[in-house]
């Protein structure tokens, strides 16, 4: 089954929302990067969050990036998404595994991330990209995104992100939701939404019961609000790297560096962090690159 993202608004126009089933997308990321269980959950949450935020991009050329810089053993994690529902990402220490949280017996994403910052960059084709940054509040990603919306964009929000792991470490379910209050939303609407969220069980457990993301929004999170679905889009993990694209990067090397590679008959290798492919450039290709440089 293909993954999908949806966005909409309640009939009373008081709440806008996004939701995603990202199970296959996260599975592909886990396989590409050979992720540990801890990193499967961490990167899975980031991929789900990015897919929903990408629905707000206007142009097909726009790109949104979420970056985590923490002092935990994972180090850095980064995901990027476009308006076509294509997402990719990586973590600096993909095989890192941590013991379960001693108190909650859950996968300890917070300790893996540590303290640091969450940064969201929107490249909208303007001279300078928009960038918002906040201190990590928990390192669990969902609460950090919730805080980001309030602190950086002044939008009261609630974010839910989940990755359900099988006993063998594979991904069983993955998804997320974002609900945001529109300006001047009545207090009674806010109270009812808070009550719905308080009663709502674990997202991926409900997905595992067979509920679609539409049913989850209608029957649980936005119960009583008559949500209207405005857009649906396929979600997928896709890296747009190519031999030609990385060749452009080699042109950033100095002519001297390229000449030395030619003299030593070296092969220059460029590694893509997003899909783990290597691109090799031999002597003949390096000579051509050098000849094209001004």
- pLDDT tens, residue by residue, 27-54: 999 999 999 999 999 999 999 999 999 9
pLDDT at 249: 82
- pLDDT tens, residue by residue, 139-167: 999 999 999 999 999 999 999 999 999 98
- pLDDT tens, residue by residue, 95-120: 999 988 878 778 999 999 999 999 99
What are the start and end residues of each CATH 3.55.30.10 domain in the chain? Answer: 3-237
Query: 80 Cβ partners below 8 Å, 6+ apart?
Result: 50, 63, 64, 65, 66, 87, 88, 89
DSSP of 207-225: HHTT--HHHHIIIIITTTS
What are the start and end residues of each CATH 3.90.1280.10 domain in the chain? Answer: 243-292
Long-range contacts for 230-233 (Cβ within 8 Å, ≥24 apart)?
Answer: 230/7, 230/8, 230/9, 231/6, 231/7, 231/8, 231/55, 232/4, 232/5, 232/6, 233/4, 233/5, 233/6, 233/55, 233/84, 233/85
Half-sphere exposure of 20 (CA within 13 A, CB side): 35
- Domain covering 3-237: architecture: 3-Layer(bab) Sandwich (3.55)
Fold classification of 243-292 (topology level): CBS domain Like (3.90.1280)
Query: 272 Cβ partners below 8 Å, 6+ apart?
Result: 239, 241, 246, 278, 279
82 vs 255, higher pLDDT: 82
- pLDDT tens, residue by residue, 172-183: 999 999 999 999
């Amino acid at each position: 089954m293909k993954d999908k993202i949806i966005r909409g608004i309640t009939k009373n126009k008081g709440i806008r929302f996004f939701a995603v089933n990202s199970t296959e997308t996260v599975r592909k990321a886990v396989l590409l990067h050979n992720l540990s269980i801890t990193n499967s959950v961490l990167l899975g949450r980031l991929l789900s969050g990015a897919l929903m935020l990408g629905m707000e991009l206007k142009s097909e050329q726009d790109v949104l990036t979420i970056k985590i810089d923490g002092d935990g053993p994972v180090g850095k994690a980064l995901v990027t998404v476009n308006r076509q529902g294509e997402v990719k990402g990586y973590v600096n220490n993909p095989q890192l595994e941590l013991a379960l949280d001693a108190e909650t017996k859950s996968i300890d994403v917070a300790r893996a991330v540590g303290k640091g910052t969450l940064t969201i960059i929107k490249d909208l084709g303007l001279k300078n990209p928009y960038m918002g940054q906040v201190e990590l509040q928990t390192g669990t990603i969902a609460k950090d995104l919730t805080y980001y919306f309030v602190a950086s964009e002044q939008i009261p929000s609630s974010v839910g992100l989940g990755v359900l792991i099988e006993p063998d470490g594979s991904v069983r379910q993955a998804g997320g939701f974002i609900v945001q209050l529109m300006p001047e939303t009545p207090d009674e609407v806010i109270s009812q939404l808070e009550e719905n969220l308080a009663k709502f069980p674990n997202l991926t457990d409900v997905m595992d019961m067979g509920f679609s993301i539409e049913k989850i929004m209608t029957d649980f999170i936005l119960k009583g609000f008559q949500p209207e679905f405005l857009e649906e889009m396929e979600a997928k993990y896709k890296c747009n790297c190519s031999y030609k694209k990385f060749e452009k990067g080699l042109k950033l090397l100095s002519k001297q560096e390229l000449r030395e590679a030619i003299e030593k008959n070296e092969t220059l290798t460029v590694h893509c962090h997003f899909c783990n492919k290597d691109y090799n450039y031999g002597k003949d290709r390096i000579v051509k690159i050098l000849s094209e440089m001004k």
